[in-house]
Amino acid sequence: MPLSPTPGNKVDVLIIGAGPAGLMAANALVHAGVTVRIVDKKTVPVTVGHADGIHPRTIEILQSYGLGERLQREGTRFDRAAFYNPGPNGGIKVIFVPSSSHKTNPSSREHSAPRQSSPPQRDTLSSSPDIKERPVVPTSIELSDSRSDLVNPDAYPVKVTLKNLDSEDGDEEVVQAKFAIGSDSAHSWTRKALNIGVEGDQTTSIWGVVDIVPDTDFPDIRNWTFIHSNQGTLMNIPREGDLIRFYIQLSSDTDFVNRETGRVDLTKASPDRIMEAAAKIMQPYRVVRVGDVEWWTVYIIGQRVAQTFSVKDRVFIAGDACHTHSPKAGQDSTIRSHPGLTMHSLEAIICPSWYESERLKYAQDLIDFDKKWSKMFSDKPQSEDNFEGVSHEEFLGMLASQSGFLSGIGIRYEPSTVVNNKHQACASKLIVGERVTPRDFVYAANVNPVNLHDVLPSDMRVKILVYAGDIKVEASMKRLHALGENMGTSNSFLWRFGQGAYEKVFDMLCICATKKDDMDFTDVPKFFRSHWSKVLLDDTDMYGRSGGGAYEAYGISREEGAIVVVRPDGYVGVVAPFDHVDDINQYFASFMLEAPEA
């Protein structure tokens, strides 16, 4: 029988599911000082096979939380891809090995590093052991119908009954939450309990996956490799240590699938049988496994998207609860850790409509991409006998055209309340709606180099980047002083939406185009330098190895400058000239609450 909530059973956010998406959301919320509880039905964490293909944008996000170093240290960097097609004698032959990987948009983390993203997230949450509970499952969820409760930021309109599976009596408790997140897998209890439907299809494409240490004479075993053969298709991904991962296309008539249910029957499958298929595809090269299998599975590709990602802006679903797709492009970790589908940066709480409008479209775009990717990956290669097959030019073209989407760094959100491109021309190459492009600068105080992403941590604050131009030019300094006076008034967004102490909501940096030998950081007006680290220069470091050229790269005039607003999720929300601060005021007024009068 459900229990009544007690005063101690209240929490800001209840997260159902402690997989990669749930842990990422928890990290974001804990960093923001939000009280969190995570519950999961599993007794112990899953340590392999989940969200362990890490693309550059994922690493950027994790690094912004201080979580990227372990991934890069323990993972495997790969910069090159290789492509194989059927050979003239029935085996395979290499058709293309570029000297470096296909280049995507600039990233401060220029490589993919396959390694499960969850361990560092669990590490950072280990200091708060009370927020994670296993094995605990929800048995009911209720959401208030009261409009006053739903719009009141201090209300707890979500009520969830939890059951402890370790308890002999099946002890239950009722938790009241301001918000709830269901990150509880493709078979999400949360999604079903909220009657959220899914749209899409299950394909007939069957794939096996194995993580092994190989004994092989295949020359590209440590490269990201795509093999199209007459025996099927295989993708190889190098992993940490000597491990590799094979994705192997299985025959459509395999007995791994129960024909009555259409589901995979793992009692018929085995890693040895998957490796047999891999060996046939890779002929004439030899490949056998050494030692035990690290992990393996068999899956049928499903491509589905939930009809909605939120209910009454109080309960949200994330990760596989939102969508399912093939894992071969490594998009699981990208989309789970991406601010879009994990409530990263608490954007759903600040402005719930962001989550639904931006993230649902992203998920639909992902499924559209996955349909093309999976078909191209599974189709037979082009040959004399199969002229309609996939050519390597088509495959390379797909990779090149979709590289920004694959890596996660080319995602662009459409104009909306929180994406305003009215003044795009003043920063013509720093695209509003895209994540801020990383560049190297130097600190004005000591000329030490720093990447822009490293001074934009995920701390829940909106970043205000003031590109001041060359302040040694009198007109530029005059404009900067005038901007400071304008932004310092009570009508400015800093004070209207700063909740009484604007440094808690906004983080301001001043980036000058002045040469390092021509100014001191103290030359910048006090208003724009709350700390010495808040003044950067677009110039090279002392050795000329990095830095410089950012104004040109961003399309910002060194004479006129620009104001760039970076949302808490790292995406550019609005840009404006110095004399259009009112437009920035209106931008924030469209979705933020004004500070109460003292």
Q: Classify 424-589 by CATH class.
A: alpha beta
| 596 burial level (CB within 10 Å; 0-12, 13-18, 19+) | exposed
Q: Classify 7-76+112-198+306-362 by CATH class.
A: alpha beta
pLDDT tens, position by position, 261-302: 888 888 889 999 999 999 999 999 999 999 999 999 998 877
- 57 within 8 A of 407, measured Cβ to Cβ: yes
CATH code of the domain made up of 201-302+367-404: 3.30.9.10
Question: If phi over 0 gives left and psi between -120 and 50 gives alpha, with beta otherwise, what is residue 330?
Answer: left
For 199, the enclosing helix (H) or strand (E) is: strand 198-216
pLDDT tens, position by position, 473-510: 999 999 999 999 999 999 999 999 987 789 999 999 99
pLDDT for 425 beyond 80? yes
**C-alpha torsion 364→368→373→379, nearest 10:** 140
- 83 within 8 A of 395, measured Cβ to Cβ: yes
pLDDT at 478: 98
Q: Could you give the CA distance from residue 337 to residue 60 in angstroms, rounded to a whole number? A: 10
Q: Kindly report the CA angle at 120 between 72 and 58, in degrees rounded to 5?
A: 55
Name the residue ranges covered by the structural domains of the chain. 7-76+112-198+306-362, 201-302+367-404, 424-589
Query: Among residues of the chain, what percentage have pLDDT more than 70?
Result: 82
The position carrying tokens 């050795």 is: 543
pLDDT tens, position by position, 387-399: 777 776 777 777 7
- DSSP annotation of 254: -
- The model carries a pTM of 0.82
Identify the band that residue 332 occupies on the pLDDT scale cut at 50, 70 and 90.
very low
Instruction: List the helix and strand counts (H, then E) for the chain.
Output: 17, 23
pLDDT at 112: 54
DSSP-derived 3-state class of residue 323: strand
Q: Could you give the CA distance from residue 109 to residue 72 in angstroms, rounded to a whole number? A: 9
Query: Among residues of the chain, what percentage have pLDDT more than 90?
Result: 50
Q: Could you give the CA distance from residue 121 to residue 27 in angstroms, rounded to a whole number? A: 7
The position carrying tokens 């999720």 is: 569
